[in-house]
Amino acid sequence: MEKRFENRSSLLLFFLKGSKRFFIACMIFGGLVAVLDLINPRIIAYTVDAVIGEEESNIPAFLEKIVSGLGGDAFFKTHLHIIALLILGVAGLAVVCRYFFRMFNARGGEKLVCNMRDTLYNHIIHLPVKWHNENQTGDIIQRCTSDVDTVRRFLSDQLTNLVRVVILIVMSIIFMLNINVKLAMIAISLVPVIIGYSLIFHQKIGSSFEKVDDMEGKLSAMVQENLSGVRVVRAFGRESYERERFGKANEKYCGMWIRLMQLLSFFWASGDLVSGTQVILVVAFGAAFCVNGQLTTGELIAFISYNAMLTWPVRSLGRVISEMSKAGISIDRIRYIMNSEEEKDTENAGETDMKGDICFNNVSFSYPLKDENKYTKVLDDVSFKISAGTTVGILGGTGSGKSTLIQLLDRLLELDEESEGAGRITIGEKDIRDIKREYLRKNIGIVLQEPYLFSGTLAENIAITADGIDMDKVRSASKVAALDEAIEKFTKGYETYVGERGVTLSGGQKQRTAIAQMLLRKPPIMVFDDSLSAVDAETDVKIRTALKERSKDTTTILIAHRISTLMHADNIIVLDHGKIVQQGTHDELVKQEGLYKKIYELQQPA
């Protein structure tokens, strides 16, 4: 499989499209803040030494010229307020730069997150059903929220500070060397220790972060599963079991964080010790040098300021590295999604007349077993033909492969996945692999075994594939689906809110809503995957009779386990454990010894 994003940086650069300029602006202002911060200690040193004291002024040549033009150091003795204003001006300018730094930072960060979420969502909804079968929803959600946020935090909190940190480190070292080489050496000598220490440390905790992240994913997957299946949990009285399961996982997760935090606290505390030692050394030696006359008071003040400026960036360098390992793992987790291949049509994929015969030729299919290189065979050399405009019934026990057959026809599952499928399905003599997926799915209407209703009104759900809601059409489709009576009983009728936060429809009502949904589309091929299983026999007959009248030239596939549902089909296929065991019309099949006759006799009223 071709990987779109070979490494982390290629993915980051891809996501940074649109927000890069904000981050660059942010870095520039960050650099300006650093430069401005470096100015004031020098002004103070000059003031203490040359203006208040009697030392030689140690300022750059171009400033020396300006100062002597004004009347030398003596001028400032009488005009100290100018220096105060200067210091205030520099500090004020730094505030303005900080404002822009934060503003561009926030803009870049939000733009980045927005872009990442959009891209991920768009990618995920285009991933094949097979991918969704193999990945947990909760884990995917966690990758799209928590991991996205980690990446943003790394970029906007850490990486944008990098320019500022580097400028501060380099310039304060230069200024310190400029003030006093010996003292500067003492100050710098501990810097490699601090950096090296954090490097080693953060490499060690990288794997811990990965484990914690995985655990978080598992936890959200568990919550998501339990919330979606809340009725099952209640119905089976599994609350305490689920609570315990979650409690255990949660405890494990907390324990992981606590251990991680212990490590981090140890690091920060010992880091404090090292940098504290460094500060004490600088102050002690500086004071001694000052007494010796190797250093002026102003220089000592400036030196201590620069040393303080050095401590923060050096230590935050460790932080950058730590966040980098965390962000790296998050990027990898996002990269996994982005590198999963979207459904793509072949180059010569086209359209075909969907009012042609449908042929299954030697179709076999296996599902991969999780974590093993084994497959369970679900369909075994299945061949049959559905002539255009006829109705075929498929009868078979649960697990015989009926739904799989339909998912293959709709290309929700693919026949040519490595070692999982074989054979050919054609519509109007065209291999379905050469038909554009969107076109194919638009023209095959499937009422799924377990229909899903979106949050919205009933009318909205019925007209979900249409451009607008045409109430006449919605009504007539509901009538055929025998849904209208049920709807009339709701006080709000078609405006009844359904879905996750609305009225809960019964299984049969949901199935009928899905049937109405499909009827509105009038696709040339209609599939009912056990779609009448939850409606009573009487309604079943009513729906089928209405359907027959309405869709004379439609090719229909009726999947059922109730013989009365499909007995009037033009051809009936009997599936057993993935194999076709019988085929024929109802009259032919009841005369044969076999599964069909057995089921038929079982379903006869005694």
Pick one of Mg ion, ligand ADP, none as the site partner of residue 400 (Cβ within 5 to 8 A by kind). Answer: ligand ADP
Q: Are 425 and 408 in contact (CB under 8 A)?
A: yes
Q: Which of 292, 398, 419, 491 binds ligand ADP (CB under 6 A)?
A: 398
Nearer to Mg ion, 430 or 561 (CB): 561
The angle subtended at Cα 95 by Cα 94 and Cα 98, nearest 5°, is: 85
User: Which of Mg ion, ligand ADP, none does 396 bind, CB closer than 5 to 8 A by kind?
Assistant: ligand ADP
Residues 438-457 within binding reach of Mg ion (CB under 5 A): 449
Rounded to 5 degrees, what are φ and ψ at 445? -95, 125
Burial per residue of 127-162, b for 16 or more beta-carbon CB atoms within 10 angstroms, e otherwise: bbebbeeebbebbbbbbbeebbebbbbbbbebbbbb
Q: Which is nearer to ligand ADP, 348 or 398 (CB)?
A: 398
Angle between helices 161-179 and 181-189 (to 10 degrees): 140
346: partner contacted, choices ligand ADP, Mg ion, none (Cβ within 5-8 A by kind): none
**Part in contact with ligand ADP (CB under 6 A); list of ranges 166-174, 298-306, 399-407, 531-539:** 399-407
Q: Which two tokens stand for residue 335?
A: 């990269």
The CB density around residue 280, as the number of other CB atoms within 10 Å, is 10
Give the whole-angstrom CA distance, residue 35 versus residue 93: 11
- Decide which of ligand ADP, Mg ion, none touches 399; Cβ closer than 5 to 8 Å per partner kind: ligand ADP
Query: Per residue, what are the HEC states of 495-554?
Result: HCEECCCCECCCHHHHHHHHHHHHHHHCCCEEEEECCCCCCCHHHHHHHHHHHHHHCCCC
Please give the residues from 350 up to 409 whose contact with Mg ion meets the rule CB under 5 A.
Answer: 402-403
Minimum distance from CB of 412 to ligand ADP (Å)?
10
* Residue span binding ligand ADP (CB under 6 A) among the ranges 20-28, 53-61, 395-403, 474-482: 395-403
Tokens representing residue 485 in the block: 């009576």
The encoded tokens of residue 105 equal 């930072």
For position 131 contacting ligand ADP by CB under 6 A, the verdict is: no
> Is 88 in a helix, a strand, or coil?
helix
Q: Given the complex with ligand ADP, which of 219 and 559 has the nearer CB atom?
A: 559
Q: Give 132 or 568: the residue with its C-beta nearer to ligand ADP.
A: 132
Query: Pick from ligand ADP, Mg ion, none: which does 367 bind, CB < 5 to 8 A by kind?
Result: ligand ADP
Interface with ligand ADP (CB under 6 A), residue from 30, 108, 393, 401: 401
CB of 401 to ligand ADP, least distance (A): 4
* Per rule CB under 6 A, count of chain residues that contact ligand ADP: 11
Query: How far is residue 449's CA from residue 407's CA, in Å, rounded to a whole number?
Result: 11
CB 563 within 8 A of CB 395: yes
CB of 248 to Mg ion, least distance (A): 34
Using the minimum distance from each CB to Mg ion, give the nearer residue, 73 or 410.
410
Q: What is the CA radius of gyration of the chain?
A: 37
Tell which positions 133-152 bind ligand ADP, by CB under 6 A: 133
Near ligand ADP by CB under 6 A: residue from 138, 356, 396, 508: 396
Which range of residues in 276-284, 346-354, 394-402, 545-553 is near ligand ADP by CB under 6 A? Answer: 394-402
CA distance 146 to 213: 9
Structure tokens at 308: 């303080």
Based on CB atoms, which residue is closest to ligand ADP, 105 or 531? 531
Binding-site partner at residue 318 among Mg ion, ligand ADP, none, CB < 5 to 8 Å by type = none
The item of Mg ion, ligand ADP, none sharing an interface with residue 53, based on CB under 5 to 8 Å by kind, is: none
Separation CA 101–CA 167 (nearest Å) = 15
CA distances from 291 to 51, 211, 247, 284 (A): 20, 55, 64, 11
Binding mask 309-348 for ligand ADP (x = CB under 6 A): ----------------------------------------
Q: Whose Cβ is closer to ligand ADP: residue 36's or residue 221's?
A: 221
- For the segment 360-389, give every residue that binds ligand ADP (CB under 6 A): 367, 378
**How far lies 434's CA from each of 413, 427, 428, in Å?**
15, 10, 12
Residue closest to 352 by CA, chosen among 279, 430, 462: 430
Q: Nearest to residue 490, comparing CAs of 515, 519, 526, 461? A: 461
The amino acid present at 266, given as its one-letter code, is F
Q: Which does 198 bind (CB under 5 to 8 A by kind): ligand ADP, Mg ion, none?
A: none
Angle at 114 (CA atoms; ends 113, 118), nearest 5 degrees = 115
Which of these segments, 8-16, 153-161, 396-404, 433-441, binds ligand ADP (CB under 6 A)? 396-404
404 interacts with, out of ligand ADP, Mg ion, none, CB within 5 to 8 A per kind: ligand ADP
Give the shortest CB-563-to-ligand ADP separation in angstroms. Answer: 16
Min dist CB 366 to ligand ADP, Å, is 9
> Measured over all CA atoms, what is the biggest interatomic distance in the chain, rounded to whole angstroms?
122
Nearer to Mg ion (CB atom), residue 356 or residue 396: 396
The residue ranges that bind ligand ADP (CB under 6 A) are: 133, 367, 378, 396, 398-404
By CB under 5 A, name the binding residues for Mg ion: 402-403, 449
